[in-house]
Chain A
Amino acid sequence: MAVELDVFVGNTTIMDEEVYQLWLDGYTVNDAVKVRMAGGVLDECEANQDVLLSDTMDQYRTFQMCERLLQSPAKLANQLLFQIPPHRQTMLIERYYAFDDAFVREVLGKKLSKGTKKDLDDIGAKTGVTLKSCRRQFDNFKRVFKVVEELKGPLVENIRQHFLLSDKLARDYAAIVFFANNRFETGKKKLQYLTFQDFAFCAGQLINNWTVGAVDNMAEDMDVDLDKEFLQELKELKVLITDKDLLDQHKSLVCTALRGKTKAFTEMEANFKNLSRGLVNIATKLTNTKDVRDFFIDLVEKFIEPCRSDRWTSADVKLYLTHYTNSAHILDSFKHQAVWDRYMGVIKSCIFKMYHD
Chain B
Amino acid sequence: MPGKLKAKIVAGRHLPVMDRASDLTDAFVEVKFGNTTFKTDVFPKSLNPQWNSEWFKFEVDDEDLQDEPLQITVLDHDTYSANDAIGKVYIDIDPLLCAEAASVISGWFPIYDTIHGIRGEINVLVKVELFNDLNRFRQSSCGVKFLCTTSIPRGYRAAMVHGFVEELVVNEDPEYQWIDRIRTPRASNEARQRLISLMSGELQRKIGLKVLEMGGNAVVGYLQCFDLEGESGLVVRAIGTACTLEKHSSGSLVNTHTHPNTAPASNACNSPSKDGKEPVFGEDLPSSSGPPTPFRILPTSSFSPPPFSPSKPCSRQSSSSDTDLSLTPKTGMGSGGSAGKEAGPLKTLLRQQTQTALEQREFPFFTLTSFPPGFLVHVGGVVSARSVKLLDRIHNPDEPETRDAWWEEIRQEIKSHAKALGCHAVVGYSENTSICEEVCILSASGTATILNPRYMREGCLDIGSTDHRFDDPSPPSCGFCHIPYDELNMPFPAQLTYCYNCRRQKVPDVLFTTIDLPAEAAVTGKGCLIQARLCRLKKKAQGEVNATAISNLLPFMEYELHTQLMNKLKLRSMNALFGLHIQISVGENMLLGLASATGVYLTALPAPGGIQIAGKTSGDLNNEQHIQSIQKRINDTIAKNKELHQINPPELTEEGVGSPIPEPRHRSRLFRSHSESSDEVSELDLSHGKKDAFVLEIDDTDAVEDIHSLLIDASPPTGFYTCNTETMPGIYNWTTAVQMFTSVRVLRLSNANLSNQSLNKIFTDLCENLLKSFYFKLRSNIPCCLCHLNFTVAVPEEELIQVSVTAVAMTFDQDQTQERFITKGGNETEEQLQFPLELCADSSSTNTQTSSKFSGVPENTIVSSRVFLNRSQKPHSVLFFSVCLFFCVLYVFCSLLLFLLLLLCIFGCGLRACVFYFIFCARVLCARVFSPAASVDYGSFADRCSTWLELLRLKAHTIRRGSVKTISSLENCSPLTEGRPRSLRSSRSFGGSSVTMVKMTPLSFLPGTRIIKYLGIINMFFIRETTSLREEGGVSGFLHSFIAEVFAMVRAHVAALGGNAVVSYSMKDCVLMENPNKNQAQCLINVSGDAVICVRETDQEPMTSMTNIGQSCTADGAT
Asked whether A259 is an interface residue with its Cβ less than 8 Å from the other chain, the reply is: no
Instruction: Enumerate chain A residues within 8 angstroms of B769, measured Cβ to Cβ.
Output: 50-51
Residues 979-1004 of B at the A interface (beta carbon under 8 Å):
981, 983-985, 987-988, 991-995, 997-1000
Asked whether B1072 is an interface residue with its Cβ less than 8 Å from the other chain, the reply is: yes
Instruction: Enumerate chain B residues within 8 angstroms of A154, measured Cβ to Cβ.
Output: 974
Q: For the complex, count residues of B whose C-beta is within 8 A of A.
A: 69
Asked whether B953 is an interface residue with its Cβ less than 8 Å from the other chain, the reply is: no
Q: Is the CB of B777 within 8 A of A65?
A: no
Instruction: Enumerate chain A residues within 8 angstroms of B589, measured Cβ to Cβ.
Output: none
Q: Is the CB of B997 within 8 A of A5?
A: no
Complex: A44 Cα to B1051 Cα, angstroms: 33
Which of these binds chain A: B221-229, B322-330, B746-754? B746-754
Q: Is the CB of A77 within 8 A of B743?
A: no
Complex: A317 Cα to B1045 Cα, angstroms: 62
Q: Is the CB of A162 within 8 A of B1047?
A: no
Instruction: Enumerate chain B residues within 8 angstroms of A83, measured Cβ to Cβ.
Output: 995, 997-998, 1047-1048, 1051
Asked whether B800 is an interface residue with its Cβ less than 8 Å from the other chain, the reply is: yes
Asked whether B563 is an interface residue with its Cβ less than 8 Å from the other chain, the reply is: no
Residues 60-103 of A at the B interface (beta carbon under 8 Å):
61-62, 64-65, 74-87, 89-90
Asked whether B740 is an interface residue with its Cβ less than 8 Å from the other chain, the reply is: yes
Instruction: Enumerate chain A residues within 8 angstroms of B512, measured Cβ to Cβ.
Output: none
Which of these binds chain A: B31-39, B727-735, B909-917, B1029-1037? B1029-1037
Complex: A153 Cα to B985 Cα, angstroms: 14
When C-beta atoms are compared, the residue in chain A nearest to B995 turns out to be A78
Determine how close the nearest CB of chain A comes to the CB of B713; give it in whole angstroms.
14
Residues 15-71 of A at the B interface (beta carbon under 8 Å):
44-48, 50-52, 54-55, 57-58, 61-62, 64-65
Q: Is the CB of B1040 within 8 A of A58?
A: yes
Q: Is the CB of A9 within 8 A of B1044?
A: yes
Instruction: Enumerate chain B residues within 8 angstroms of A47, measured Cβ to Cβ.
Output: 772, 775-776
Contact code string B771-791 (vs A, CB < 8 Å = 1, else 0):
011111111000000000000
Asked whether B742 is an interface residue with its Cβ less than 8 Å from the other chain, the reply is: yes
Complex partner residue of B118 from A5, A74, A78, A81, CB under 8 angstroms? A81
Q: Is the CB of A48 within 8 A of B1051?
A: no
Q: Is the CB of B1037 within 8 A of A61?
A: yes
Determine how close the nearest CB of chain A comes to the CB of B96; give it in whole angstroms.
21
Complex: A3 Cα to B766 Cα, angstroms: 9
Asked whether A319 is an interface residue with its Cβ less than 8 Å from the other chain, the reply is: no
A11, A44, A77 interface centre (most CB from chain B within 10 Å): A11
Instruction: Enumerate chain B residues within 8 angstroms of A10, measured Cβ to Cβ.
Output: 739-741
Asked whether B762 is an interface residue with its Cβ less than 8 Å from the other chain, the reply is: yes
Q: Is the CB of A5 within 8 A of B1039?
A: yes
Asked whether A164 is an interface residue with its Cβ less than 8 Å from the other chain, the reply is: yes
Asked whether B14 is an interface residue with its Cβ less than 8 Å from the other chain, the reply is: yes
Q: Is the CB of B987 within 8 A of A78?
A: yes
Complex: A305 Cα to B991 Cα, angstroms: 49
Instruction: Enumerate chain A residues within 8 angstroms of B800, measured Cβ to Cβ.
Output: 4
Determine how close the nearest CB of chain A comes to the CB of B992; give it in whole angstroms.
3
Instruction: Enumerate chain A residues within 8 angstroms of B743, measured Cβ to Cβ.
Output: 7-9
Determine how close the nearest CB of chain A comes to the CB of B978; give it in whole angstroms.
9
Determine how close the nearest CB of chain B comes to the CB of A193; give it in whole angstroms.
37
Asked whether B91 is an interface residue with its Cβ less than 8 Å from the other chain, the reply is: no
| B interface SS class | mixed
Asked whether A257 is an interface residue with its Cβ less than 8 Å from the other chain, the reply is: no
Q: Is the CB of A1 within 8 A of B750?
A: yes
Q: Is the CB of A54 within 8 A of B773?
A: yes
Complex: A12 Cα to B995 Cα, angstroms: 13
Complex partner residue of B762 from A1, A55, A85, CB under 8 angstroms? A1
B717, B800, B991 interface centre (most CB from chain A within 10 Å): B991
Q: Is the CB of A81 within 8 A of B777?
A: no
Complex: A120 Cα to B446 Cα, angstroms: 65
Asked whether B110 is an interface residue with its Cβ less than 8 Å from the other chain, the reply is: yes
Asked whether A152 is an interface residue with its Cβ less than 8 Å from the other chain, the reply is: yes
Q: Is the CB of B984 within 8 A of A162?
A: yes
Complex: A80 Cα to B1041 Cα, angstroms: 12
Asked whether B276 is an interface residue with its Cβ less than 8 Å from the other chain, the reply is: no
Asked whether B108 is an interface residue with its Cβ less than 8 Å from the other chain, the reply is: yes
Instruction: Enumerate chain B residues within 8 angstroms of A322, measured Cβ to Cβ.
Output: none
Q: Is the CB of B999 within 8 A of A80?
A: no
Q: Is the CB of A152 within 8 A of B749?
A: no
Q: Is the CB of A6 within 8 A of B745?
A: yes
B739, B743, B750, B778 interface centre (most CB from chain A within 10 Å): B743
- Once A81-B118, A161-B981 are accepted as A-B contacts, the answer to whether A3 and B1044 lie under 8 Å apart by CB is no
Determine how close the nearest CB of chain A comes to the CB of B430; give it in whole angstroms.
24
Complex: A81 Cα to B747 Cα, angstroms: 27
Q: Is the CB of B746 within 8 A of A4?
A: yes
Complex partner residue of B742 from A9, A12, A62, CB under 8 angstroms? A9
Q: Is the CB of A77 within 8 A of B779?
A: no
Q: Is the CB of B747 within 8 A of A3?
A: yes
Q: Is the CB of B775 within 8 A of A61?
A: no
- Once A1-B750, A45-B717, A47-B775 are accepted as A-B contacts, the answer to whether A14 and B108 lie under 8 Å apart by CB is no
Complex: A101 Cα to B769 Cα, angstroms: 41
Q: Is the CB of A9 within 8 A of B776?
A: no
Determine how close the nearest CB of chain A comes to the CB of B29; give it in whole angstroms.
18
Q: Is the CB of B762 within 8 A of A7?
A: no
A50, A65, A79, A157 interface centre (most CB from chain B within 10 Å): A79
Instruction: Enumerate chain B residues within 8 angstroms of A338, measured Cβ to Cβ.
Output: none
Instruction: Enumerate chain B residues within 8 angstroms of A157, measured Cβ to Cβ.
Output: 974
Asked whether B744 is an interface residue with its Cβ less than 8 Å from the other chain, the reply is: yes
Complex: A55 Cα to B992 Cα, angstroms: 27
Instruction: Enumerate chain A residues within 8 angstroms of B739, measured Cβ to Cβ.
Output: 10-12, 14
- Once A45-B779, A55-B776 are accepted as A-B contacts, the answer to whether A78 and B994 lie under 8 Å apart by CB is yes
Complex partner residue of A11 from B740, B751, B984, B1052, CB under 8 angstroms? B740
Q: Is the CB of B121 within 8 A of A80?
A: yes
When C-beta atoms are compared, the residue in chain A nearest to B762 turns out to be A1
Contact code string A143-173 (vs B, CB < 8 Å = 1, else 0):
0000000001110011001101000000000
Instruction: Enumerate chain A residues within 8 angstroms of B748, measured Cβ to Cβ.
Output: 1-4
Determine how close the nearest CB of chain B comes to the CB of A322; give it in whole angstroms.
32
Determine how close the nearest CB of chain A comes to the CB of B805; give it in whole angstroms.
9
Complex partner residue of A45 from B747, B775, B993, CB under 8 angstroms? B775
Asked whether B13 is an interface residue with its Cβ less than 8 Å from the other chain, the reply is: yes
Q: Is the CB of B745 within 8 A of A3?
A: yes
Instruction: Enumerate chain A residues within 8 angstroms of B908, measured Cβ to Cβ.
Output: none
Asked whether A217 is an interface residue with its Cβ less than 8 Å from the other chain, the reply is: yes
Q: Is the CB of A87 within 8 A of B1037?
A: no
Instruction: Enumerate chain B residues within 8 angstroms of A75, measured Cβ to Cβ.
Output: 14
Q: Is the CB of A61 within 8 A of B1036?
A: yes
Q: Is the CB of A80 within 8 A of B118?
A: yes
Complex partner residue of B992 from A50, A77, A161, A218, CB under 8 angstroms? A77
Determine how close the nearest CB of chain A comes to the CB of B12; give it in whole angstroms.
12
When C-beta atoms are compared, the residue in chain B nearest to A12 turns out to be B739
Asked whether B975 is an interface residue with its Cβ less than 8 Å from the other chain, the reply is: yes
Instruction: Enumerate chain B residues within 8 angstroms of A158, measured Cβ to Cβ.
Output: 981
Complex: A303 Cα to B937 Cα, angstroms: 82
When C-beta atoms are compared, the residue in chain A nearest to B973 turns out to be A217
Instruction: Enumerate chain A residues within 8 angstroms of B773, measured Cβ to Cβ.
Output: 8, 51, 54-55
- Once A80-B1048, A86-B992 are accepted as A-B contacts, the answer to whether A51 and B772 lie under 8 Å apart by CB is yes
Interface residues of chain B, those whose CB is within 8 Å of chain A, are 13-14, 108, 110, 118, 121, 714, 717, 739-751, 762, 769, 772-779, 800, 802, 974-977, 981, 983-985, 987-988, 991-995, 997-1000, 1033-1037, 1039-1041, 1043-1045, 1047-1049, 1051-1052, 1072
If A1-B749, A4-B748 are given as contacts, then 16 extra A-B residue pairs at C-beta distance below 8 Å, sorted by A number, are A4-B1035, A5-B744, A8-B741, A8-B777, A9-B743, A9-B1040, A9-B1043, A46-B772, A47-B776, A50-B769, A55-B777, A76-B992, A79-B121, A80-B1048, A81-B1044, A81-B1045
Interface residues of chain A, those whose CB is within 8 Å of chain B, are 1-14, 44-48, 50-52, 54-55, 57-58, 61-62, 64-65, 74-87, 89-90, 152-154, 157-158, 161-162, 164, 217-218
Give 9 A-B contacts (CB < 8 Å), ordered by A residue: A5-B746, A8-B777, A11-B999, A47-B775, A51-B772, A80-B1052, A162-B981, A162-B984, A217-B974
Closest 3 CB pairs of A and B: A86-B991, A77-B992, A5-B746
